[in-house]
Amino acid sequence: MENIIWTWLELNNGELSESSMEILGEARKLGNTLKGQIHAFLLGEYADEAAAKAAIYGADVIYIATDSIFRTYCPEACLAAFAQQVSRPPRIVMISGTRNGASLAPRIAARFQWGYLANVVKVAPQEDGGLKINTETFQAKVNNTYTFSARQTVVLVLQPGSIGVGKADKKRTGEVRPLEPLADMTNHIEITGFIKADPRSVSLNDAERVVAGGNGFCNQEDLKILQGFADALGAAVGSSKPIADKGWVTYNRLVGQSSGRRLAPNLFVSVGISGATHFIEGMKESPLIISINKDKGAPLMKEADLAVVGDLYEILPEITRQIKAMRGEAEDHGK
Q: Give me the mean pLDDT over the 50-62 stretch.
A: 95
Which residue, among 285, 262, 272, has the nearest Cα to 240 in the 3D structure? Answer: 272
Distance of CA 190 to the CA centre of its chain: 25
Beta-carbon contacts of 262 under 8 Å, excluding residues fewer than 6 positions away, are 159, 161, 162, 163, 281, 282, 283, 285
Residue 205 marked ligand-binding: no
316 contacts 292 by C-beta, under 8 angstroms = yes
Q: In this predicted structure, what is the pLDDT of residue 197?
A: 75
- Between the CA of residue 252 and those of 225, 240, 241, 256, 284, what are the distances in Å? 20, 11, 11, 11, 19
Q: In this predicted structure, what is the pLDDT of residue 201?
A: 85
Q: Give me the mean pLDDT over the 135-146 stretch.
A: 81
- 3-state SS, residue 109: helix
Q: In this predicted structure, what is the pLDDT of residue 70?
A: 92
Neighbours of 134 (CB within 10 A): 15
Q: Which residue has the higher pLDDT, 258 or 147?
A: 147
172 contacts 55 by C-beta, under 8 angstroms = yes
133 contacts 124 by C-beta, under 8 angstroms = yes
Ordered structural domains, the chain, with CATH: 4-178 (3.40.50.620), 204-334 (3.40.50.1220)
Residue 140 has pLDDT above 70, yes or no: no
Residue 271 has pLDDT above 90, yes or no: yes
Residue 96 has pLDDT above 90, yes or no: yes
Beta-carbon contacts of 205 under 8 Å, excluding residues fewer than 6 positions away, are 159, 160, 161, 162, 261, 263
User: What percent of the chain stands above pLDDT 90?
Assistant: 64
Query: Mean pLDDT, the chain, as a whole number?
Result: 89
Query: Would you place residue 257 in the very low, low, confident or very high pLDDT band (cuts 50, 70, 90)?
Result: low
Query: Would you place residue 159 in the very low, low, confident or very high pLDDT band (cuts 50, 70, 90)?
Result: confident
C-alpha–C-alpha distance, residues 101 and 79, integer Å: 12
Q: In this predicted structure, what is the pLDDT of residue 7?
A: 97
Beta-carbon contacts of 250 under 8 Å, excluding residues fewer than 6 positions away, are 244
Q: What is the pLDDT of residues 171-221, one digit of tens each?
A: 999 999 999 998 777 777 777 776 777 888 888 877 889 999 999 999 999
Alpha helices in the chain (DSSP H): 18-34, 47-56, 75-83, 99-112, 223-233, 241-245, 277-281, 299-303, 312-334
Which residue, among 59, 35, 56, 54, has the nearest Cα to 44 in the 3D structure? Answer: 54
C-alpha–C-alpha distance, residues 29 and 51, integer Å: 19
